[in-house]
Amino acid sequence: MYHHKGYRKLGRMSSHRKALFRNLSCSFIMSGKVKTLLSISKELRRVAERMITLCKKGRLSVLASVLQNAEAFKKIQQIADKYKDRKGGYTRIIKTGLRKGDGAPTAIIEFVE
């Protein structure tokens, strides 16, 4: 059984996984929507919602160390202001089917209006 293991490792080393989520979260914040694998989108949801919560609480120094793109840093502050009355659930994952080459399940992750 795979209970209480914390997170998906995605077949990557920790440094590669950290870089993946750092880049993907910047792209997600800038565009508002990203199409990727289902397992990656489920982990990206955790990262993105924690970033918005940090921004809502005013912990901007922690957020600045994660988001190294200045434009994404400004944009997430606007997004956090939009969700100031919401307690959680800022993102939505929509399953889009299987990838053509290897049949991996894909999904679109986007911000809730």
The class of domain 14-111 in CATH terms is: alpha beta
DSSP 76: H
Residue 105 pLDDT > 90: yes
Enter the tokens of residue 18.
């950290």
| More confident site: 113 or 105 | 105
- φ, ψ dihedrals at 68, nearest 5°: -95, 0
Q: How far is CA 35 from CA 22, 45, 106, 107, in A?
A: 16, 13, 7, 6
**pLDDT digit string (tens) for 39-68?**
999 999 999 999 999 999 988 888 888 888
Residue 17 pLDDT > 90: yes
Can you give the pLDDT at residue 64? 86
